Structure 1
Amino acid sequence: MSTKNILLAIVAVVVLAAVVYTLTGTDSPEVYFEKVEKERDKQFKYLRFNEDSPLSKEQKDQLGTLSFYPIDPQYRVRAKMVAIEDRKVLELPMSDGSVGKYIKHSFLEFDLKGSPQKLLLLQSLNEIDKRNFFLAFADATSGVETYGGGRYLNLRQDGKNSIEVDFNLAYNPYCAYNPDFACPLPPRENLMEVAIEAGEKDYLAKKD
């Protein structure tokens, strides 16, 4: 093969790799870690400086950092969305004893570190963008290293029948910081037996 043909072949491979990278949306490890860190920093700044933060002025003044598990790509998974044909309204208990209402949209099926999982995906009754979803879950770390009332994920559908679930982005509900806030508790379908050692840790545990 001539030098010209070799160069053309190399260029073709590079172009193909770039196209595949663009279509799959796969991030390099460096880019992925940076994205997660930015989201965590955004969360901290909201709690520390935003006027709508659940923290009191005293809590804001004392807040130096939030506590997270180290970023672990194994907790970033692609889940199959299994639609619920009869999408009834679920009355979800709130931390103050009241009830919140959500649509039971679909079940998420995925493997996590070789263990099959199935979680209930919810959608707010007032959600305008039907690609946005809410996932409340509790796991074996709840009440130990993470908030006892569970943690949340905001998910956005990015596939025809699939969605990315990244537990590294799991965050605490407002009631983890301030008991005056009412927060939805995880449905029974989302009480996980495995330990999700990813995402935000318990705020109160950090203060002890």
Structure 2
Amino acid sequence: MKNLLLFFVVAFVCSCGQGKQMLNEETQWQKKQNSDFKDASKSPLKPKDLKAFKGLDFFSFDASFVVQAQLKRTADSNWFKMKTTTDELSKERIYGVLNFELKGQYFQLNVYQGEDLMQTEGFEDYLFLPFLDNTNGSTTYGGGRYIDLRIPKEDIIEVDFNKAYNPYCAYNEKYSCPIVPRVNYLDIEVKAGIKNYEK
């Protein structure tokens, strides 16, 4: 009986310790994402999914997925209509090209600027970085993920793939989400950011 009691005490302490360790690994950005998803006024989740929502599934933070990218601005680039998951089109332009090294490989990604957001207070300097990688369709959403950026004063911009998130249409088909241009494909597994959503 004593041995059995001791087993339960050890198991309880271990499980508490593990939970505490996971909490310490959670970043402020991850906490904010979960907080927004739990808030019915902000959440993209359907009402039935919101009721059962426990939290998003994240990769553990990995500093090697934080890169300093060289931004080559594309002055006076043409506006175009980016396809979305619905019949709507998003008016965008390529603001610039990001050049960076990740896991010993060199990559380029186009970073976009939306016409509507440019005219929205608080988002005048907002940049949109959609990308595809080799985790799509397995551990991450099949349609790729997004990263929010701001126009830097200089020509270096930090890209933190730990802040890669799913488009809202991954949670609810009513949303119209820009489709990631194929040119923004990274031939690497980006094991950072938010994983695929499983109901």
Task: Flag the 1:173–1:87 CA change in 2: closer, same or farther, 3 A.
Answer: same
Give the CA deviation at 1:159: 4.4
Give the CA deviation at 1:133: 0.6
Instruction: Provide Cα deviations, 1:144-199, integer angstroms capped at 9, x if missing partner.
Output: 11001111100123441111100000011100101111100111221221111100
Task: Flag the 1:63–1:124 CA change in 2: closer, same or farther, 3 A.
Answer: same
SS in 1 for 2:50: helix
Q: Which residue of 2 aligns with 1:157?
A: 151
SS in 1 for 2:51: helix
The separation in 2 between residues aligned to 1:149 and 1:180, in whole angstroms, is: 15
Q: CA RMSD in A?
A: 1.9
Bigger drift between 146-155 and 87-96 goes to 87-96
SS in 2 for 1:148: coil
Give the CA deviation at 1:60: 1.0
Are the counterparts in 2 of residues 158 and 164 from structure 1 also a CA contact under 8 Å? Answer: no
The separation in 2 between residues aligned to 1:84 and 1:36, in whole angstroms, is: 36
How many residues get paired? 173
Are the counterparts in 1 of residues 111 and 127 from structure 2 also a CA contact under 8 Å? Answer: yes
Matching of residue 166 in structure 1 with residue 187 in structure 2 = no
Give the CA deviation at 1:99: 1.8
One-letter code aligned to 2:83: P
Are the counterparts in 1 of residues 25 and 60 from structure 2 also a CA contact under 8 Å? Answer: no
Are the counterparts in 2 of residues 36 and 168 from structure 1 also a CA contact under 8 Å? Answer: no
The separation in 1 between residues aligned to 2:91 and 2:134, in whole angstroms, is: 26
Alignment partner of 1:73 out of 36, 57, 63: 63
Matching of residue 103 in structure 1 with residue 93 in structure 2 = yes
The separation in 2 between residues aligned to 1:100 and 1:138, in whole angstroms, is: 19
SS in 1 for 2:49: helix
SS in 2 for 1:120: strand
Q: Which residue of 1 aligns with 2:135?
A: 141
Are the counterparts in 2 of residues 142 and 148 from structure 1 also a CA contact under 8 Å? Answer: yes
Q: Which residue of 2 aligns with 1:64?
A: 54
Are the counterparts in 2 of residues 36 and 169 from structure 1 also a CA contact under 8 Å? Answer: no
Give the CA deviation at 1:130: 4.5
SS in 2 for 1:64: coil
- Structure 2 portions without partners, runs of 5+: 1-23
Matching of residue 89 in structure 1 with residue 79 in structure 2 = yes
Identity of aligned residues (%): 34
TM-score, structure 1 normalization:
0.77
Alignment partner of 1:194 out of 180, 188, 195: 188
The separation in 1 between residues aligned to 2:26 and 2:89, in whole angstroms, is: 32
Give the CA deviation at 1:131: 3.1
The separation in 2 between residues aligned to 1:100 and 1:184, in whole angstroms, is: 7
Matching of residue 125 in structure 1 with residue 115 in structure 2 = yes
The separation in 2 between residues aligned to 1:79 and 1:130, in whole angstroms, is: 21
Bigger drift between 34-43 and 187-196 goes to 34-43
The separation in 2 between residues aligned to 1:137 and 1:76, in whole angstroms, is: 15
The separation in 2 between residues aligned to 1:78 and 1:36, in whole angstroms, is: 23
One-letter code aligned to 1:72: D
Task: Flag the 1:130–1:82 CA change in 2: closer, same or farther, 3 A.
Answer: farther
